[in-house]
Structure 1
């Protein structure tokens, strides 16, 4: 049986790891390679690493950094940041990275999703939807370039199109909840989950394992990604890499899936 996944998400800024709040005010939290080594020991399900500078600065991915991360990583690795061509996707997969994430480049040229999926397989191609509520009506809108560029795209319609184009997974990231640790945007998750059959991961807002349990209870097989939850500890947000052990994770899934059966 396919299980939910609990996925740390690491942001790289100026060569170091940072954690943002609503995509702003990056706080340094450590070295990428050291974090990967710790997560190796904790046997995480999967790891997402995003270079938040590459697209904004208009540069290519840092291939040496990606190769170093892939060489160190003992869990499935998804990389995103600065990827604009199918050739870049293929090069990154060649380092041993399992998945490559597109975002702004997919919005700018949707056919890139199809081209890249044909080269590396849909299972290796992820598209990230950074979503915020915008305008007087506070409607959901897909944003790019670290949340600074409005696209006019409705995330539900965009997710549907991505499925048609050949994407293998979508990561839905709530800008409004990023770093607040006050819970996922379950409304956003539900709207997109009901519209597509693709594997989906939700990111933005997790502040406790109970938030992950709520998400899994609602959507069962889903990726529950988080940043702050896995790098901060306690009310003073001391930097401490953490992750639930196997028994904690199994108990969480049993509770969440059991509740989902009752609700069904």
Structure 2
């Protein structure tokens, strides 16, 4: 039986692991390689690693760091940041990464999705859509370059376009909820799950197992990703990497599927 994937999302800046709040105020939280080793021990379902400065600063992916991450990782690894060509994506896959994530480059050049899918296979192409609610309205716009540029395009319309072009997975990431740990955007997630046929991963706002349970109860089998929840502990946000046990996932997250049958 297919089960939801519970996915830590690690942000890299200046080669270090950081965490943000609404895409701002990045806080250094440690060494990414050390984090990967801990998630190996805790048997995480999957791992997303995003270099948040690569695209914003128009630089190449750090292939040396990617190779190091891939060599340490014992779970499926998705890498994003700075990917602008099919050749770059192919090189990253050759380093041992299972999926390549594209964001701003996909919005600037949608044909890139088809080009990358032709090189590495649709199942390895992930499009990340950072979204924020428009002022005085319920529309969610897609933003790029670390949430500094508004495309003024509806996230649902963009997701459908990216799927049609060859994206094998869509990740929606709420800028409004990023780092808040107060819950996901369930309405948007449920709507996208209804209209998409490719796998969906929901990111932005996870602060508890109950939050993840609610996503699965609303959407069914999806990826549920989080950053702060897996690296912070307690009200003072002390750095402590954690991940739910198999029993916790069964009791709190997988159980949400029973109510959908």
TM-score bracket for this pair, using the shorter chain length: over 0.9
2:172–2:202 Cα contact (<8 Å) kept: yes
2:113–2:162 Cα contact (<8 Å) kept: yes
1:155–1:192 Cα contact (<8 Å) kept: no
Secondary structure of residue in 2 paired with 1:193: helix
Structure 1 runs (4+) greater than 4 angstroms displaced = none
Specify the alignment match of 2:50 in structure 1: 50
Give the unaligned 5+ runs of structure 1.
none
Range that drifts further, 200-209 or 252-261: 252-261
Specify the alignment match of 2:157 in structure 1: 157
2:212–2:253 Cα contact (<8 Å) kept: no
Specify the alignment match of 1:258 in structure 2: 258
Specify the alignment match of 1:133 in structure 2: 133
- Superposed counterparts of 1:67-86, under 5 Å: 67-86=67-86
Specify the alignment match of 1:242 in structure 2: 242
Specify the alignment match of 1:13 in structure 2: 13
Output the CA distance in 2 between the equivalents of 1:241 and 1:207: 13
Secondary structure of residue in 2 paired with 1:251: helix
1:47–1:77 Cα contact (<8 Å) kept: yes
Specify the alignment match of 2:90 in structure 1: 90
Output the CA distance in 2 between the equivalents of 1:146 and 1:79: 16
Output the CA distance in 2 between the equivalents of 1:137 and 1:238: 36
2:156–2:192 Cα contact (<8 Å) kept: yes
- TM-score by length of structure 2 reads 0.98
2:70–2:97 Cα contact (<8 Å) kept: yes
Give the unaligned 5+ runs of structure 2.
none
Q: Encode CA deviations 1:21-74: one digit per residue, 9 max, x unaligned.
A: 000000111000000000000000000000001011110100000000000000
Aligned CA RMSD, in angstroms, stands at 0.9
